[in-house]
């Protein structure tokens, strides 16, 4: 028991180190800037599984599901390759005819541990990240700058937003119902450059801390049929003081609330099907939701933002235990595009427009205690076109993005 406890503490420390690593590994995630799935198994099933918790990372989707899993820890990482940029036509402010963002390879780690307290309760720790928003545009020629250069007349441009989370989970089972609660701490890091044309100076990196609450339930209605609901409150964060002249409410950038509901059905003893619905409430954060066409100044309570609206996400997944060693997975997720056509110009900095996510994954059981997991995800190109609001009549901007992801993980049972 002491050895297991020591191993668990060491694993938790490793997870915190990984969280810090996530804050220096920028990426641009897929449901706006929420990841489709946080764990390797989730990601292989299109992010679905709020009603089907079978591993330690499941607590990142539904804190209720860890009761009965046994003692376990997991570690994993995903290689993320987003390709994003824009095209522009007609006369306007941003550089023509278009620019692609540099920096197309990032690593996003995750970690989780679960310990059973007794037959009816368990605790867990999970460490994960949302990836964030990241673009890096080179310093390009731009005749609209009157001798200057860059897509926004401020030289090389881009933003770098990263978010890391540490959740402490407690879950309890009461008959066929499991409930869980997970206070969550969050850390954000942000940097913007090349925005002097908007009156935003380059102040380097700034940090924000805060937190919120995640909770969930999982109900086994009958053998082979389970329902789950989970949600997180808005995570209230301290201000980015260095960017009080960019984000609405003097640098305020909270993390949106979200809710997920779903069902899992064991079609056969070896085949499980899952269906989830998620809603992400970007509208609750003015710096994200305020229209970019609002009158300046940036940083005011009702100042310009990115113009993102709430999104609906639909996820389906399947898991088939092919034999005692191999488990195979597949999934698909569809997300609304959060960016309105009227806000495309400012969203050159954060073109989170992808909608379709096709996934596959597998697990290989090395022994009774050790399993390796992996997944891959393809996100086809999505485009959104709208007016260059600082351009001439008929000028347009088209955002584009497509992505590839591949992840690997290791699970240890005790």
| pLDDT category of residue 133 using cuts at 50, 70 and 90 | low
pLDDT value for 410: 97
In tens, the pLDDT along 342-354 reads 999 999 999 989 9
In tens, the pLDDT along 234-248 reads 999 999 999 999 999
> Two tokens at 227?
């329902």
Q: Which among 19, 279, 10 is positioned nearest to 167, based on CA atoms?
A: 19
- pTM for the predicted model, two decimal places: 0.92
DSSP string for 304-323: ----B--EEEEEEEEEEE-S
Average pLDDT over residues 106-129: 94
Q: Please, is 251 exposed, middle or buried when counting C-beta atoms within 10 Å of its C-beta (0-12, 13-18, 19+)?
A: buried
Q: Is the per-residue pLDDT at 395 higher than 90?
A: yes
Backbone angles phi, psi at 315, to 5 degrees: -130, 135
**3-state secondary structure at position 250:** helix
Which contiguous run of DSSP H or E holds residue 81? strand 72-89
Residue 317's Cβ-side half-sphere holds a number of Cα atoms within 13 Å equal to 33
Instruction: Give the DSSP letter of residue 255.
Output: B
Write the CB contacts of 66 (distance below 8 Å, at least 6 apart in sequence): 53, 56, 58, 59, 114, 122, 123, 124, 169, 171, 180
pLDDT value for 30: 65
Average pLDDT over residues 63-84: 94
In tens, the pLDDT along 8-19 reads 444 444 444 444
d(CA 85, CA 102): 9
CATH, domain range 2-413: 2.40.160.60
DSSP string for 179-226: EEEEEEEEEEEEEEES-GGGT------EEEEEEEEEEEEEEEEETTEE
């Amino acid at each position: 028991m002491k050895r297991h406890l020591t191993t668990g503490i060491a694993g938790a420390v490793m997870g915190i180190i990984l969280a810090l690593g996530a804050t220096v590994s920028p990426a641009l995630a897929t449901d706006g800037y929420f990841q489709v799935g946080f764990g390797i198994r989730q990601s292989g099933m299109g992010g679905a599984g709020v009603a089907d918790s079978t591993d330690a990372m499941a607590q990142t989707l539904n804190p209720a599901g860890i009761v009965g899993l046994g003692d376990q820890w997991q570690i994993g990482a995903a290689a993320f390759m987003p390709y994003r940029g824009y095209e522009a036509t007609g006369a306007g402010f941003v550089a023509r005819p278009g620019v692609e963002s540099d920096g197309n390879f990032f690593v996003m780690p995750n970690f989780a541990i679960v310990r059973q307290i007794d037959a009816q309760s368990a605790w867990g720790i999970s460490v994960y990240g949302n990836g964030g928003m990241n673009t890096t545009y080179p310093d390009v020629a731009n005749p609209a700058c009157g001798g200057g250069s860059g897509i926004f007349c401020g030289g090389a441009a881009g933003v770098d937003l990263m978010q890391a989370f540490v959740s402490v989970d407690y879950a309890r089972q009461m008959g066929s119902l499991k409930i869980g609660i997970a206070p969550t701490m969050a850390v954000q890091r942000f940097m913007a450059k090349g925005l002097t044309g908007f009156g935003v100076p380059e102040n380097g990196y700034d940090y924000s801390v805060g937190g919120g609450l995640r909770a969930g339930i999982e109900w086994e209605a009958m053998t082979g049929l389970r329902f789950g609901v989970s949600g997180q409150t808005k995570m209230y964060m301290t201000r980015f003081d260095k960017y009080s002249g960019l984000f609405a409410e003097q640098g305020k950038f909270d993390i949106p609330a979200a809710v997920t509901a779903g069902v899992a059905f064991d079609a056969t003893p070896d085949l499980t099907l899952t269906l989830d619905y998620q809603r992400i409430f970007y509208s609750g954060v003015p710096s994200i939701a305020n229209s970019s066409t609002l009158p300046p100044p940036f940083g005011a309570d009702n100042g310009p933002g990115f113009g993102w609206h709430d999104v609906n996400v639909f996820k389906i997944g399947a898991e088939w235990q092919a034999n005692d060693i191999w488990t195979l997975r597949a999934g698909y997720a569809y997300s609304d595009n959060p960016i309105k056509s009227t806000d495309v110009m400012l969203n050159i900095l954060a073109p989170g427009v992808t909608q379709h996510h096709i996934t596959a994954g597998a697990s290989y059981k090395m022994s009774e205690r050790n399993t390796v997991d992996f997944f891959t995800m393809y996100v086809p190109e999505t485009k959104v076109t709208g007016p260059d609001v600082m351009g001439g009549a008929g000028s347009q901007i088209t955002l584009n993005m497509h992505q590839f992801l591949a992840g690997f993980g290791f699970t240890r049972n005790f």
